[in-house]
Amino acid sequence: MRIFVVGYMLAGKSSFGRRLAKRLKYRFVDTDKLIEWTYKLSVDDIFEKYGEEVFRLLEKRILNQTLSMDNVVIATGGGLPCHDDNMNIIRQNGTSIYLKISPKAIISRNNDSHKTRPLLKNLKAEELEEFITNHLDSREKFYSQADFSFNALDLNLEEIVRIISFHSNIFF
């Protein structure tokens, strides 16, 4: 079984994915980390040197690599489900979980984070909320196709495991 965790940047996909994988005794894969390991460049460097279009092509390659994995929880990059036919690929090849988060919570987490986000780094503070609100809104149509949707600020791991077990007829 493959479980894909999707959602906007700073929703907590990697943190939640790691916890879920540990609980299920599954392997954990973060697509951004796999890109960095495979291509020996940070996501930020890829964006700066080659642009978003090249990064999205690399994401697609990495997504396709994950399809040969089993018993794995895969945290996707925030934009991965929103390009090409990636969300269809995710839905056809695993169970998907959308971690919903509000623009205000994203801004708060961004302010507390020491990590640079390529899509946010050149924005002034007053531009941030409008950008995130509009960007999240444009991606919602992809994220909302996930099999399950949970509030990123109120995640109950055991409840989520029970829900996935019930709907997939796989008991963990």
Average pLDDT over residues 114-134: 86
Q: 99-112 burial by CB neighbour count: b if 16+ within 10 A, else e?
A: bbbebebbbebbee
**Binding site membership for ATP: which residues?**
10-15, 117
Is residue 126 over pLDDT 90?
no
More confident residue, 129 or 34: 34
Encode pLDDT of 36-74 as tens digits: 999 999 999 999 999 999 999 999 999 999 999 999 999
Is residue 129 over pLDDT 80?
yes
Encode pLDDT of 91-119 as tens digits: 999 999 999 999 999 999 988 887 878 77
Pick from 72, 60, 2: which is nearest to 35 by CA? 60
**Binding site membership for substrate: which residues?**
32, 56, 78, 139
**Binding site membership for Mg(2+): which residues?**
14
Q: Examine residue 138 and state whether it is found in any structural domain, yes or no.
A: yes
Q: Examine residue 166 and state whether it is found in any structural domain, yes or no.
A: no
CA 120 – CA 114 distance, rounded (Å):
13
Q: Examine residue 168 and state whether it is found in any structural domain, yes or no.
A: no
Q: Examine residue 141 and state whether it is found in any structural domain, yes or no.
A: yes
pTM of the model: 0.93
**Range(s) of the domain holding residue 72:** 2-159
Q: Examine residue 171 and state whether it is found in any structural domain, yes or no.
A: no
Q: Examine residue 167 and state whether it is found in any structural domain, yes or no.
A: no
Half-sphere exposure of 169 (CA within 13 A, CB side): 0
**Confidence label for 172 from pLDDT (cuts 50, 70 and 90):** low
Q: Tokens for 78, please give them.
A: 């925030």
Q: Examine residue 105 and state whether it is found in any structural domain, yes or no.
A: yes
**Binding site membership: which residues?**
10-15, 32, 56, 78, 117, 139
Domain of 123, CATH number, reads: 3.40.50.300
Q: How many domains does the chain have?
A: 1
